[in-house]
Amino acid sequence: MIHKWLTGKATNILIPIIAVFLGILVGAIIMLFIGQNPFTGYAALINGAFGDIYYFGEMLRMMTPLILAGLAVAFAFRTGLFNIGVEGQLIVGWLASVWVGVAVEAPMFIHLPLSIAAGAIAGALWGFIPGFLKARFYVHEVIVTIMMNYVALYTANHLIRTYLLVPGERTERISTTASLASPFLQSLTDFSRLHYGFFLAIFACVVLWFVLWKTTLGYELRAVGYNKHASHYAGMNVNTNIILAMVISGGFAGVAGAMEGLGTYGYMSILSGFTGTGFDGIAVALLGANTSIGVFLAAALFGALKIGAPNMQSAAGIPPELVDIVIALIIFFVASSYLIRLVINRLQKEGK
């Protein structure tokens, strides 16, 4: 299933582009269907994301957790694992980073890395459980990670309510020594909530690329993803690699949560439902074909869509949920690449 997506370089680049195009096209048809002008709608969307430096800053801010969540999904994908639990890993990462950010007192050069590391470790731990169950008991990771999402949500809310609650249904604000907030970046972007985490996300892209393609560990992880049995025969420890892949994937997701806790908000609220970022990470990874650059670009697209959406409502009277529909359709089209491949192959054969 997954390795099919990794063959044929040109087709690999073409498929996401065609999928995005088809998604936007169907979105336009839906706008026509409700009696709106698609050009006005999409103009409002683009204007909403890029029309003002403030919104551009917000878009970059939005991208940060999306990139990290996308990397988390992509990393697991490469080892043949489907991590739907990024959402839950993100939640525990968010809570752990905020907890350390509130409770510990230390100078910034210790406190900030410590808080981020706390998020990563919490996420990694949350990823370890499905990885271990997969390796030891052959339990499918998809179901376990879905269940772990709910456990994370309710447990985090319970811990906040019991130990960290301040008025406003949230935790205390983290101390400034643990904060990623950047007055400099904020002043550049007309006081958006853009923070230093954005650069950390770019750095994480590089880390993913390096680990996967330039280390023995990455080679083994990808080998296990391609063919478990051949890897085992070649003397690799498949089970250890499965657990490691989930731990690292969860670590990325935990850092995504830390970005929300230490950068965007500076605290954690009691969540009435999922943040959605973890699930968007699945879309980001799929569209980005599980590559660092792809994930970055896909996160940019989805970030722009999400930040621009409210302007569709105010400027063109189109419900912002259109963006959610377009994202869902893009996933459908990427997943159904069988059809796109078929058409491309047919066209190529006729060309010859």
C-beta atoms surrounding 299 within 10 Å: 31
SS3 call for 108 = helix
Q: What is the token pair recorded at 26?
A: 């169907």
CB 176 within 8 A of CB 294: no
CB of 276 to another protein, least distance (A): 9
CB of 296 to another protein, least distance (A): 21
CB of 319 to another protein, least distance (A): 4
Toward another protein, which CB reaches closer, 38 or 197? 38
Toward another protein, which CB reaches closer, 103 or 147? 147
CB of 111 to another protein, least distance (A): 29
Q: Report the distance separating Cα 155 and Cα 151, nearest Å.
A: 6
Q: Report the distance separating Cα 3 and Cα 14, nearest Å.
A: 17
For binding to another protein (CB under 8 A), which residues are involved? 1-2, 30, 34, 82, 84, 129, 133, 137, 139-140, 142-144, 146-148, 150-151, 154-155, 157-158, 162, 272-273, 279, 282-283, 286, 319, 321-325, 327-329, 331-332, 334-339
Toward another protein, which CB reaches closer, 146 or 165? 146
CB of 73 to another protein, least distance (A): 10
CB of 340 to another protein, least distance (A): 9
For residue 175, report the phi and psi dihedrals to the nearest 5 degrees: -70, 155
Toward another protein, which CB reaches closer, 14 or 151? 151
Toward another protein, which CB reaches closer, 115 or 291? 291
Q: Report the distance separating Cα 73 and Cα 294, nearest Å.
A: 13
Q: 217: burial class by Cβ within 10 Å (0-12, 13-18, 19+)?
A: middle
Toward another protein, which CB reaches closer, 105 or 169? 169
Toward another protein, which CB reaches closer, 201 or 323? 323
- The set of residues, in sequence order, having a beta carbon less than 8 Å from that of 183 and lying 6+ positions away, is none
| Cα-Cα-Cα-Cα dihedral sign, residues 235, 241, 243, 244 | positive
CB of 147 to another protein, least distance (A): 4
Tell how strand 170-171 and strand 165-166 pair up.
antiparallel
At 166, which helix (H) or strand (E)? strand 165-166
